C-alpha cells in the first residue's frame, strides 16, 4: 500500500513565508529557505512553495529562492505561482524543483497542462485548484490567489485536468483555508472517488484528527501551513498518530 504524504505548504510573498485566513489577513512567518530545511529535517514527505502574488501581479516566479531551497533540503518540493508557459516549467525544474504547480494560467490556457506533461512528464505537473462552495451545493474554481470566481465547476475542472495530463490535483478549500476547522471532506471524497490520479487535500487542518479524517476519505496527501509554522503540531508526532490510526505513513528516524 502506498504511504500517505504529509506536506507543509509555504506561501511566499516578497521573499518571506506568510499566512492568512481565507486568503486574507496575511502575516509574516519566516524565511522560506530556513523553514524549508527545518521541515526537511523534521520528516516531511514533500514541500510546496507558492509565490502567492506572482499571478496577480503578473510577474515571474522567485527563481533565486527555488535554487536556494534545492541546495538545502533532501525531499521533493513543488513550486507554484506565476507559472504561465512551458518555459516557466523548464526554468523552475532546472532550478531544482521536482514538480511544478499551475493554477490561474491553466484555467486561462488548459493546453498548458498537456504541453508541460508531454515535455516533462505528468509526474512533474500538479494542477492546483482553489475551490469555494457556491449556493448550488457545488464548488467554483477561483483564480488569482482566490480573488476571481471563474464560474467553472471544480470537480469537472479536476477531471479535465487529469485528462490533459496532470499527475496530481491539489485541491484547496477557500472556505476552510486557515480556519482550522477541518478539511472539506465532501469535496475530497468526491475527487478521490472520481479521479485516478493522487489528490492532495489542502485547507482547514487544525488538529491531528483532521489529517486522519481526510486521508481516510481517500486523499493521498494532506497539505497544511499554520499548524506546522506555529509548531501547533509536530510532523513526527502527527505521523506517530496516523500510524496508530492504521494509516500508512513514512515514519521518522529517531
The pLDDT of residue 57 is: 53
Give catalytic status of residue 153 as yes or no. Answer: no
CATH class of 5-244: alpha beta
The pLDDT of residue 90 is: 97
Give catalytic status of residue 130 as yes or no. Answer: yes
Residue 243 to residue 2: CA distance in whole angstroms: 13
Nearest to 46 by CA among 7, 1, 102: 7
State the catalytic residue, choosing from 11, 51, 184, 220: 11
Domain boundaries, given as residue ranges, for the chain: 5-244
Chain length of the chain: 254
Q: What is the mean pLDDT of each run of 10 residues along the chain (254 residues)?
A: 92 78 56 92 94 59 86 95 93 96 95 98 97 96 90 98 98 90 97 98 97 98 93 96 97 74
State the catalytic residue, choosing from 13, 130, 140, 220: 130
Tell me whether residue 119 is exposed, middle or buried, using C-beta atoms within 10 angstroms of its C-beta: 0 to 12, 13 to 18, 19 or more: middle
Amino acid at each position: 500500500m502506498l504511504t500517505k504524504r504529509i506536506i507543509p505548504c509555504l506561501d511566499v510573498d516578497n521573499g518571506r513565508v506568510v499566512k492568512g485566513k481565507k486568503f486574507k489577513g496575511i502575516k509574516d512567518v519566516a524565511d522560506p529557505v530556513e523553514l524549508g530545511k527545518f521541515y526537511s529535517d523534521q520528516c516531511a514527505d514533500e514541500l510546496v512553495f507558492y509565490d502567492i502574488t506572482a499571478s496577480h501581479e503578473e510577474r515571474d516566479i522567485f527563481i533565486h529562492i527555488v535554487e536556494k531551497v534545492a541546495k538545502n533540503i533532501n525531499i521533493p518540493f513543488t513550486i507554484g505561482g506565476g507559472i504561465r508557459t512551458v518555459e516557466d516549467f523548464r526554468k523552475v525544474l532546472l532550478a531544482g524543483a521536482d514538480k511544478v504547480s499551475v493554477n490561474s494560467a491553466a484555467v486561462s490556457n488548459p493546453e498548458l497542462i498537456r504541453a508541460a506533461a508531454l515535455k516533462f512528464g505528468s509526474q512533474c505537473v500538479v494542477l492546483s485548484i482553489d475551490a469555494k462552495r457556491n449556493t448550488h451545493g457545488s464548488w467554483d474554481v477561483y483564480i488569482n490567489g482566490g480573488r476571481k470566481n471563474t464560474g467553472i465547476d471544480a470537480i469537472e475542472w479536476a477531471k479535465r485536468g487529469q485528462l490533459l495530463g496532470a499527475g496530481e490535483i491539489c485541491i484547496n478549500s477557500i472556505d476552510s483555508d486557515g480556519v482550522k476547522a477541518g478539511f472539506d471532506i465532501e469535496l475530497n471524497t468526491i475527487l478521490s472517488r472520481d479521479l485516478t490520479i493522487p489528490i492532495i487535500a489542502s485547507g482547514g487542518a487544525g488538529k491531528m484528527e483532521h489529517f486522519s479524517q481526510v486521508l481516510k476519505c481517500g486523499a493521498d496527501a494532506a497539505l497544511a501551513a499554520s499548524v506546522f509554522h506555529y509548531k501547533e503540531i509536530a510532523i513526527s508526532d502527527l505521523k506517530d498518530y496516523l500510524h496508530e490510526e492504521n494509516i500508512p505513513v513514512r515514519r521518522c528516524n529517531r
